[in-house]
């Protein structure tokens, strides 16, 4: 019988926040709140809050369903309605959930959208996803804001103004039309101040992995930590309070010299420090994590925790330039960076957090992450002479998670890391 997962205090706080959000959504019709469906990368949650709308993230619906072991049923339902096996499984899971009544994680129905807002940031699938949702919700107002790709590794003033123009002339007027609420820039600035504060705290939190042992796992636990900042709480006092509490909790572990808390208790020995590229698998999340902590492997940085914002590179929402800040945030998401930028970012993480190795988890149905991963891996291997590894799984489709295959690959990889450590220790002893 599986041991009951141990939960940190911060995880309990977060669970209450998320439950409150879904409860508010369940009561949206009673309270008269308008509902906006949007995506995490490049989300405009502060602007949405100015108009007192509630936010739904379709990819959160999908991963929540996977962790509750419901995604397989939803995916099959979507495939019954002619969605191909090659389609992103986030999409199929969300569509299947919608076809089966759109029941959220609290067991209550998620309301239909009044607004479908797409801030396009590097994932073409998002556009097709919203085309599908538009067919199902024909009365929803559709808004698309085009985000320029960072092809030349820079955000120019012209790119920023191009986006600000869309915010002023398209997004804000449509929000005003749907909600009947006038745009209030002072209110937006207050939300942005709170966003910047939360971003400061989350950067400090992920920087704690510089300690040995690392007090947290920046991938498996990290995806919980980014929850509030990515699912609509960015720009609120709730998020700031959560991250303050979480930081205190983690720093206490640092003072006591403790490693990460895993679902089966505290990791006793840190043998390997890794940087991981790619999303985790959600259907077998606990089993996936267990392979790592059984081998004493801690992830000290990951690309997926940066999908909603690359805050550790110094960028912050600037309340003195509210619309410009929203535009630059959209352009500065991980999925909107070009491949050399991603390589530079991951290489910096390997060096800053003194990682022993670099691992890619390639996702079968996610082109926005998987495209270019092998090239990135080889570039990092050549540049840093760091051992690299490669495994394959999927986001929310259990058919593409092979526990034995992943475990065998990881065991071979960790044997290589162990051998590399022994050679280095021997060379140091002889020097």
Name the residue among 415, 419, 270 with its Cα closest to residue 355: 270
Low-confidence ranges of the chain (pLDDT < 50): 1
First and final C-alpha spacing in the chain: 50
Q: What is the DSSP string of 254-305?
A: HHTT---EETTEE-----EEEEEESPPPSTTHHHHHHHHHHTTEEEEEESGG
Contact between 395 and 279 under an 8 Å Cβ cutoff? The reply is yes
In angstroms, the Cα distances linking 224 to 15, 82, 228, 276 are: 10, 33, 8, 16
Distance of CA 375 to the CA centre of its chain: 22
**What distance lies between CA 274 and its chain's CA centroid?**
18
CB under 8 Å to 169, separation ≥6 — which residues?
Answer: none
The pTM of the full predicted model, rounded to 2 decimals, is 0.93
pLDDT of residue 12: 83
Residues in the chain: 431
Whether 169 and 144 have beta carbons less than 8 Å apart is answered as no
Q: Across the strands, what pairs with 199?
A: none
| Strands across the sheet containing 388-393 | 297-302, 272-277, 357-363, 388-393
pLDDT of residue 4: 53
Instruction: Note the pLDDT of residue 369.
Output: 78
The rounded Cα 8 to chain-centroid distance in angstroms is: 20
Give pLDDT, residue 1: 44
Sheet strands (E) in 121-220: 141-146
Question: Cα(87)–Cα(79) distance, rounded to whole angstroms?
Answer: 9
pLDDT in tens, 262-308: 988 899 899 999 999 999 999 999 999 999 999 999 999 999 999 88
Class of domain 9-188: alpha beta
Alpha carbons 75 and 66: distance in angstroms, whole number: 10
Instruction: Write out pLDDT tens, residues 385-396.
Output: 999 999 999 999
């Amino acid at each position: 019988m599986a041991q009951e997962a141990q939960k940190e205090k911060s995880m309990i706080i977060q669970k209450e926040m998320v439950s409150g959000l879904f409860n508010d959504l369940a009561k949206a019709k009673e309270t008269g709140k308008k509902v906006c469906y949007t995506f995490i990368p490049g989300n405009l949650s502060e602007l949405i809050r100015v108009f007192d709308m509630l936010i739904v993230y379709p990819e959160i619906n999908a991963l929540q369903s996977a962790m509750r072991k419901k995604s397989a049923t939803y995916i099959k339902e979507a495939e019954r309605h002619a969605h191909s096996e090659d389609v992103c499984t986030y999409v199929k899971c969300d569509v299947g959930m919608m076809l089966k009544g759109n029941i959220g994680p609290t067991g209550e129905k998620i309301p239909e959208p009044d607004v479908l807002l797409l801030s396009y940031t590097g994932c073409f699938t998002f556009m097709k996803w919203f085309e599908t949702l538009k067919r199902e919700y024909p009365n929803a107002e559709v808004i698309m804001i085009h985000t320029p790709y960072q092809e030349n590794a820079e955000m120019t003033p012209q790119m920023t103004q191009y986006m600000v123009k869309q915010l002023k002339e398209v997004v804000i007027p449509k929000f005003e039309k749907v909600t009947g609420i006038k745009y209030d820039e002072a209110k937006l600035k207050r939300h942005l101040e709170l966003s910047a504060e939360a971003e400061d705290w989350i950067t400090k939190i992920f920087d704690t992995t510089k300690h040995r042992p690392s007090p947290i796992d920046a991938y498996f636990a990290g995806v919980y930590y980014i929850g509030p900042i990515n699912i609509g709480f960015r720009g609120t006092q709730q998020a700031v309070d959560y991250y303050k509490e979480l930081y205190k909790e983690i720093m206490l572990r640092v003072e006591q010299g403790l490693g990460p808390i895993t679902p089966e208790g505290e990791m006793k020995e840190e043998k390997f420090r890794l940087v991981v590229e790619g999303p985790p698998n959600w259907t077998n999340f606990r089993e996936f994590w267990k392979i790592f902590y059984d081998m004493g492997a801690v992830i000290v940085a990951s690309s997926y925790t940066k999908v909603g914002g690359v805050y550790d590179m110094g960028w912050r929402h600037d309340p003195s330039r509210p619309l410009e800040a929203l535009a630059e945030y959209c352009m500065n998401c991980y999925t909107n960076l070009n491949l050399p930028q991603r390589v530079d970012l991951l290489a910096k993480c390997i060096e800053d957090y003194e990682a022993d190795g670099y691992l890619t988890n390639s996702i079968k149905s996610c082109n926005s992450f998987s495209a270019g991963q092998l090239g990135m891996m080889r570039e990092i291997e050549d540049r840093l002479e760091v051992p690299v590894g490669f495994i394959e799984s999927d986001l929310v489709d259990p058919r593409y998670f092979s526990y034995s295959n992943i475990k065998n690959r990881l065991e071979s990889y960790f044997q290589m890391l162990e051998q590399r450590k022994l050679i280095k220790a021997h060379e140091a002893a002889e020097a």
